[in-house]
């Protein structure tokens, strides 16, 4: 009996070890030589105002492998004062990536990606669309008018869908 338990435990450890190697992100998606460093800091100025964009439409999609604007997810904001500040962008959507496709999103300010840059937002969730959310930080935004947008793309050129969605921008 002890031998059977020992063999079962060994098999479980081997299985868990093999599972730890697969993190759900294909190795060829974003190859890098070294692991990127974590970033942290104080986001002064953010949170004084909230701007948002919201879209209830169902059925927007893309097959583009380059970033394209998410329909209805663009907002012009104005940063007051004279000092550079940061903004945060919260994005959520009801999305679907069929046929083993992947969807990536990024938040931009005046065309420049916010941190952490592009992220995998959906990865073939199955038969039905699922709700997803991600937060972005834009650390160095100068005073004046700026265009904040959400962009998305298909990894392999197959169709990906974005449905009901909202973008919330915390800014000075």
Tell me the DSSP string of 106-126: EEEETTEEPBT--EEEEE--S
Distance CA 87, CA 65 (A): 27
Distance CA 42, CA 89 (A): 15
Interval 52-73: pLDDT, tens: 899 888 889 999 999 999 999 9
Looking at per-residue confidence, does 152 or 22 come out higher? 152
DSSP 3-state helix, strand, coil percentages of the chain (rounded to 5)?
10, 50, 40
Residues 43 and 171: beta-carbon distance below 8 Å: no
Residues 56 and 163: beta-carbon distance below 8 Å: no
Nearest to 57 by CA among 147, 161, 171: 161
Vertex 61: Cα angle to 51 and 119 (nearest 5): 60
All structural domains of the chain: 49-171 (2.60.120.760)
Nearest to 70 by CA among 99, 86, 94: 94
The model's confidence at residue 100, banded by pLDDT at 50, 70 and 90, is: confident
Residue 66's SS3 state is coil
Distance CA 91, CA 148 (A): 12
Interval 103-150: pLDDT, tens: 999 999 999 999 999 999 998 767 888 899 999 999 999 999 999 999
Strand partners, 115: 137
pTM: 0.77
Q: Over 60: is that where the pLDDT of 3 sits?
A: no
């Amino acid at each position: 009996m002890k031998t059977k338990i020992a063999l079962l435990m060994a098999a479980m450890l081997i299985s868990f070890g093999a599972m730890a190697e697969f993190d759900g992100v294909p190795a060829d998606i974003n190859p890098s030589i070294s692991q990127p460093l974590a970033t942290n800091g104080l986001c002064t100025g953010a949170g004084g105002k909230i701007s948002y964009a919201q879209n209830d439409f169902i059925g927007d999609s893309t097959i583009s492998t380059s970033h394209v604007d998410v329909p209805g997810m663009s907002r012009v904001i104005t940063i007051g004062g004279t000092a550079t500040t940061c903004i945060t962008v919260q994005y959520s959507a009801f999305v679907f990536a069929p046929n083993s496709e992947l969807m990536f999103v990024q938040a931009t300010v005046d065309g420049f990606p916010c941190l952490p840059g592009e992220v995998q937002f959906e990865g073939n969730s199955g038969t039905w669309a699922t709700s997803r959310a991600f937060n972005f930080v834009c650390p160095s935004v100068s005073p004046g008018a700026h265009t904040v947008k959400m962009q998305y793309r298909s990894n392999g050129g197959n169709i990906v869908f974005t449905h009901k969605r909202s973008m919330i921008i915390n800014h000075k």
